[in-house]
């Protein structure tokens, strides 16, 4: 009887050890989750806590995935290098590009940025090609921006380049230029600081679309990447993403992101895994 008790205890202890080891192997070390200061998506509140529309979405994703750590705000360069080196680092929000494709594991997308030429909604301006913008009465883009540098390199001679993006909005709304080159996300905080509404302008021609992701270090186990992606996809389907983003980001972006899965990325073959 004593032997049976001990044998049963040995079995029970062995099962607990095996289960514990399996759990530890499945989950590994906690993920270090980092982001940068980039309102309205990520910023520190008055108590020093990372918040913002995207940060709260990621925090809810972490909670549902059983991730115990919290989000740390760091300078972009430092966070980027941490995610490159690992171990167990997740960085958001990161543009997924051909150059970066094999540097990280990817969960997302969690944001879409569309750049292009914005005009006043009441104006009947039509831009069908990039060359059409050459004939407009003024293209405003703030000095030193990559968009302005590109247009200048392409030989645009109708550029207005103030030192601040807010000046471009003022020039557009007062009719001093026909169009403002910016993105649907970059313009949001500028409108928030003025009496104008973002609904007073429209995108006349898109020049680029970028998808932003959570970039996880390459050592992150498949099981974790898959769990985070499945959790995010469910949050899109059940309306959680829309709930966090509504009122902060453009409705068109929210609608596009509310479908699970990955967008078509030109550098990926149709049969290539996109994780």
pLDDT digits (tens, 9 = 90+) for 222-243: 999 999 999 999 999 999 999 9
In this prediction, residues 56-65 reach a mean pLDDT of 98
Q: What is the mean pLDDT of residues 113-134?
A: 96
Q: What is the mean pLDDT of the chain?
A: 88
In eight-state DSSP terms, residue 17 is H
Judged against a pLDDT cut of 50, whether residue 121 lies above it is answered with yes
Q: Which two tokens stand for residue 274?
A: 């996109």
Task: Tell me the pTM.
Answer: 0.77
Mean pLDDT of 127-149: 93
Return the closest-CA partner of residue 185 out of 160, 170, 203.
Answer: 203
| pLDDT confidence of residue 71 | 98
- CB-based contact 160:177 (threshold 8 Å): yes
Cα 110 from Cα 257, distance rounded (Å): 7
> Is the pLDDT reported for residue 3 higher than 80?
no
- Give the pLDDT confidence score for residue 194 in this predicted structure: 87
Average pLDDT estimate for 183-197: 88
* Topology at the third CATH level for domain 30-112+211-257: D-Maltodextrin-Binding Protein; domain 2 (3.40.190)
Domains 30-112+211-257 and 114-209 share a fold: yes
Q: pLDDT grade, residue 267 (50/70/90)?
A: confident
All structural domains of the chain with their residue ranges: 30-112+211-257, 114-209
150-169 pLDDT tens trace: 899 999 999 999 998 899 99
pLDDT at 23: 37
How many beta carbons lie within 10 A of that of residue 266, not counting itself?
5
For residues 38 and 36, give the distance between their C-alpha atoms in angstroms, rounded to a whole number: 6
C-alpha–C-alpha distance, residues 213 and 96, integer Å: 6
Mean pLDDT is lowest, of 31-35, 47-51, 119-123, 144-148, for: 144-148
Question: For the domain 114-209, what is the CATH superfamily, name and number?
Answer: Periplasmic binding protein-like II (3.40.190.10)
Mean pLDDT on 256-263: 92
């Amino acid at each position: 009887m004593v032997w049976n008790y001990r044998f049963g205890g040995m079995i029970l202890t062995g099962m607990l050890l095996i289960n514990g080891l399996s759990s530890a192997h499945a989950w590994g070390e906690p993920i270090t989750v980092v982001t940068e200061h980039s309102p309205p998506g990520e910023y520190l509140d008055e108590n020093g806590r990372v918040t913002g529309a995207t940060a709260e979405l990621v925090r809810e994703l972490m909670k549902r995935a059983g991730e115990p750590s919290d989000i740390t705000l760091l300078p972009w360069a430092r966070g980027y290098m941490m995610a490159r080196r690992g171990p167990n680092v997740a960085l958001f929000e990161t543009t997924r590009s051909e150059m970066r494709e094999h540097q990280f594991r990817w969960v997302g997308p969690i944001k879409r940025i569309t750049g292009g030429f914005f005009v006043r909604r009441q104006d009947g301006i039509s831009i069908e090609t990039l060359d059409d913008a050459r004939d407009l009465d003024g293209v405003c883009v703030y000095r030193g921006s990559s968009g302005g540098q590109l247009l200048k390199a392409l030989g645009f001679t109708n550029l207005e380049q103030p030192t601040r993006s807010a000046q471009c909005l003022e020039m557009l709304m007062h009719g001093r230029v026909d169009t403002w080159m910016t993105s649907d996300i970059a313009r949001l905080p500028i409108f928030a600081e003025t009496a104008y509404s973002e609904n007073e302008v429209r995108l006349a021609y898109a020049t680029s679309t970028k998808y932003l992701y959570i970039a996880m270090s390459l050592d992150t186990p498949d099981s974790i990447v898959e769990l985070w992606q499945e959790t995010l996809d469910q949050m899109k389907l059940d309306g959680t993403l829309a709930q966090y983003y509504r009122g902060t980001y453009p409705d068109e972006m929210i609608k596009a992101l509310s479908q699970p899965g990955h967008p078509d990325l030109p550098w990926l073959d149709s049969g290539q895994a996109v994780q």
